[in-house]
Amino acid sequence: LRRRARPQPPTAVNRGARRAVVAAYAVAAVGALWTVATTRWGGHPERLATLTAEGGPFETATALALAALGVWAILRRRRWWIVAGVLFLLAALEELSWGQHLFGFETPGWLRGRNHQGEANLHNLIDSEIFSAALLTPIHATLVVLPLLAVMFPEWRRKTPLARVPAHTSLILCFGWGLHAWGVPVAATDSTALVVALAFAGIAIAKSDAWRQPEIIVHWLAVCVATVVFAAVAGIYRYYNMQYEIRELFVVLGVAHWLTGWAPRRPAANLGHPH
């Protein structure tokens, strides 16, 4: 009889993919800080607008991250991972307006009048504020707010798997969260929620052994410093679009960090049949 391969447990860490996500996050974080700092203090007032333009470096990086995550998920060779991978690939194409900025083709007439940015994509058929809130609010609630609450309240911690969301996942999302229009009244909810989340993270570090690790403390401090920097340069932000292109990149990296933490280590083996 040919022995059946034993699949890896779903909680096994895919270390290669996780390292790639962490490296991408480090590069993106440095790039974001450099962009806002040189825009505000480096004599390049248009740099943020240039790098976050449609089809610009940050949007392209987001699309590439989505595509890489999609390919990686498909290679898990499990039904739901394949479905998720296809969705990530479609999201990457949507982010690039299906190559419109690359190839320069015109938006179809039936779409041009309905698309808020006149582009060849579907997600801009929805108002950007509504779309952003509908997408980002559940992600931040699931991977930042609820896990932090679960860490802080032991009774709840035992009842929800959200307490097992990696601390670094939450902090990656908090870093990107800092890139918003500080000081604008309509963004006050974002500002307040981020400050509260970072305060909760500090309490989690004080109360939870899982969070009281040197690398987590350093990461938390770095995100706090970055948040102060992002708030200090608030005058360079534009509420509509602009810095949100950078923010989307960190949302994708945060989700990727979370997924690579509990996905199967290797693709499903081709199981032989007894004969």
| Residue-wise pLDDT tens digits, 192-206 | 999 999 999 999 999
- pLDDT value at residue 234: 81
**Token couple for 184:** 């604008």
| Residue-wise pLDDT tens digits, 140-179 | 999 999 999 888 887 776 777 777 889 999 999 999 999 8
The pTM (predicted TM-score) of the whole model is: 0.83
Picking from 272, 267, 249, 201, the residue whose alpha carbon sits closest to that of residue 32 is 249
| Residue-wise pLDDT tens digits, 208-246 | 888 999 999 999 999 999 999 999 988 887 765 446 778
Predicted confidence (pLDDT) at residue 114 exceeds the cutoff of 70 = no
